[in-house]
Structure formats: structure tokens, C-alpha cells
């Protein structure tokens, strides 16, 4: 889906659900990771994460658009547009928008684990960060450490 198609969908949802036009810009922003979309206060534009569309489909995308349009219309009217405001909660409930975006799996942090083995007693140490084996020794027997492997954890 292109930004132009998204723009048309946002304009249609705004007219159908809010009976008000959307007069600013809507676009995809693939750098969004922890949110489904965001409303930009300064420019009044809306940015949407494309991942929920791919993972969950059009219904989830429409719910996210309704959420962002609640921010948009309430802010322009000078009412409470923030998540904690009663105006926002009531309007979101009326239009059937989603409060939270479904998980898209994009938040997973890839970690690396380093395994060090003592050359003397065989004790294995697991560390998140690399260590200087010339500087550090085994805590049990003071033997030399050797890097035996590193694994990537998801």
C-alpha cells in the first residue's frame, strides 16, 4: 500500500466515523517500532506504522487510524486530545478505535551471549558483553579464560 492510498483511507475514515474532513497529510513511517501510529502536534500530520497492516490486516489498520484521528480532531477543536483525557477516551469508544496496537513482533531485542571457559577448572561463564581475557581470570581458581562461543538470543 502506498502513502497516497493511505491518505485516501484516512480521509474516508475521517468523514465516515467523525463526519469531519482530514485536511493534513497521512503517511507510513516504517521506523516506528513500539507504536501503531502517531499524531504530530506541530504539523497535524499522522504517521502510521506499516507493520500492523502486514501482520494483522486492514481491520487493525483502520482501528489505528481511528485512534490517531481522535487525537487529530480533538486537538484541532481545543479539547482533551491526550490518552488520559476523558474527551479522548469517550470519542475513541464512540468511533470504535483501538486503545493499544496489537503486537507485531518488531520490539524483540536481539542479544548476544558470550561463553567463557576456564582453561584450568572448566568452569563456564556466560556474559552479555565481551570481556578482555588478558585482564580477567577465573573467580574460582584464578585460571585463564577462553572464549568458547557466542550465541544470538531473540
73-77 contact pairs (CB < 8 A, 24+): 73/14, 73/18, 73/20, 75/39, 75/41, 75/44, 76/44
Is 47 one of the annotated active-site residues of the chain?
Answer: no
Among residues 16, 59, 60, 68, the one annotated as catalytic is 68
Show which residues are catalytic.
Answer: 68
Amino acid at each position: 500500500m502506498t502513502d497516497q492510498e493511505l491518505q485516501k483511507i484516512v480521509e474516508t475514515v475521517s468523514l465516515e466515523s467523525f463526519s469531519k474532513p482530514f485536511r493534513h497529510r497521512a503517511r507510513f513511517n516504517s521506523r516506528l517500532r513500539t507504536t501503531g501510529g502517531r499524531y504530530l502536534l506541530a504539523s497535524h500530520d499522522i504517521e502510521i506504522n506499516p507493520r500492523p497492516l502486514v501482520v494483522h490486516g486492514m481491520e487493525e489498520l483502520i482501528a489505528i487510524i481511528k485512534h490517531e484521528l481522535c487525537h487529530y480532531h480533538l486537538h484541532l477543536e481545543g479539547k482533551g486530545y491526550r490518552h488520559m483525557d476523558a474527551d479522548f477516551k469517550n470519542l475513541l469508544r464512540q468511533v470504535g478505535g483501538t486503545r493499544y496496537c496489537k503486537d507485531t513482533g518488531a520490539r524483540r531485542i536481539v542479544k548476544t551471549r558470550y561463553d567463557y571457559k576456564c582453561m584450568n577448572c572448566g568452569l563456564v561463564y556466560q556474559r552479555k558483553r565481551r570481556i578482555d581475557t588478558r585482564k580477567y581470570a577465573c573467580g574460582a581458581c584464578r585460571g585463564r579464560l577462553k572464549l568458547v562461543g557466542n550465541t544470538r538470543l531473540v
